[in-house]
């Protein structure tokens, strides 16, 4: 049982999503995304992007679905996704 649990934890895909929002909508995005299953951390930023989201997904299908849902969320102008690589 312990070995299976360790395998699942080690096999998660991690990604960072950089989000530009419509002017003044970053708070709505942060408060909504905070409750999503795959979201581990979300916070507003200063600079080119308004929000950063750290994700963890069981597989690429879950990661894709979450990022596409973010891109279609009201107030999101565009996203850029950085997927962690294993090295």
User: In CATH, what is the architecture of 10-83?
Assistant: 2-Layer Sandwich (3.30)
pLDDT tens digits, one per residue of 15-38: 999 999 999 999 999 999 999 999
In the DSSP assignment, the letter for residue 50 is S
Q: Which helix (H) or strand (E) holds 18?
A: strand 13-21
What is the helix (H) or strand (E) element at residue 54, kind and residue range?
strand 51-57
**Annotated domain spans of the chain:** 10-83
Eight-state DSSP code of residue 47:
S
Give the global pTM: 0.84
Is residue 6 over pLDDT 90? Answer: no
């Amino acid at each position: 049982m312990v070995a299976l649990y360790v395998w699942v934890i080690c096999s998660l895909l991690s990604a960072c999503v950089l989000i530009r929002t419509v002017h003044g909508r970053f708070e709505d995005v942060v408060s909504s995304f905070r409750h999503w299953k795959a979201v581990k951390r979300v916070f507003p930023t200063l600079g080119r992007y308004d929000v950063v989201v750290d994700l963890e997904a069981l597989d690429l299908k879950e990661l894709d679905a979450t990022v596409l849902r973010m891109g279609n969320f009201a107030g999101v102008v565009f996203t850029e996704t950085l997927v962690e690589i294993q090295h």
